[in-house]
Homo-oligomer: A and B are copies of this chain.
């Protein structure tokens, strides 16, 4: 497929490389910043452009991978070429593109991507939505050339998925930081906890989280919880977080026992 990449950020970079590796042809890379466009374009054998006026209409697909709030205005400009246009945003409705063209879709890779870190794209879930069945089918086929995990996810579901990812990724990472700070205050290195963090994430790869819940809350070990709360005495926010999450773990476990 001939693909034009709009954007040069983390998602654009990883996607362009994955498409290229799968044998697709990257026609152009657009970025407002010519240096950024040139860097990515060089890697994937494409032409860099920094103006939408230089867009080559000889392409099959525009992949818009830029800030959520400018997806609409870029889609509007690209719609004149009558080619398929997708965005890669978890939080943006299909409507942002569909308002300007029926050739609209979403191609959302659900992973935390950093330019400096290699990722095996075949393991990255890709969430597909098309404005019609024909487009959906075409995008699923394209996604399968770069990933083994392709899902149909509509705009309402994608919104929930984005929220769930905050609970599954952003909040755990914050809690890792809390643990690190507790250790640092007591002259211990975060390396002590790193294997535990990794194993905890690995366990839920083949178990439901509730089945592998451990710790004082799920054992309803009131003595340990009281001691932990006392230790957090000078950290009111952490104390509330500890109490609230522990209560919910206990409640969940009771619900399971009852159900």
Contact = CB atoms under 8 A, between A and B. Distances in A.
Given A151-B192, A203-B112, A215 B170 contact: yes
Contact of A180 (B196, B203, B205, B208): B208
B202 A198 contact: yes
A22 interface: no
A199 B163 contact: no
Interface stretch (A31-39, A71-79, A235-243): A235-243
B161 A188 contact: yes
Nearest to A166: B215
A131 interface: no
A165 B240 contact: no
A127 B196 CA distance: 13
Contact of A157 (B170, B171, B188): B188
A145 B137 CA distance: 56
Nearest to A240: B244
A40 B241 CA distance: 40
Interface in A125-166: 125, 127, 149, 151, 153, 156-157, 159-166
Contacts of A231: 159-160, 163
Interface residue tally of chain A, by bracket?
A: 35 or more
A246 to B, nearest CB: 8
A175 interface: yes
A15 interface: no
Contacts of A212: 112, 114, 173
Given A166-B216, A168-B200, A169-B214, 14 more contacts: A110-B193, A149-B191, A153-B188, A160-B186, A161-B192, A163-B228, A163-B232, A165-B215, A166-B242, A168-B176, A169-B196, A170-B215, A174-B252, A176-B204
19 contacts: A112-B212, A112-B214, A119-B199, A125-B195, A151-B188, A151-B189, A161-B193, A162-B224, A165-B196, A166-B228, A167-B178, A173-B209, A174-B209, A174-B245, A177-B210, A180-B209, A190-B208, A201-B201, A237-B244
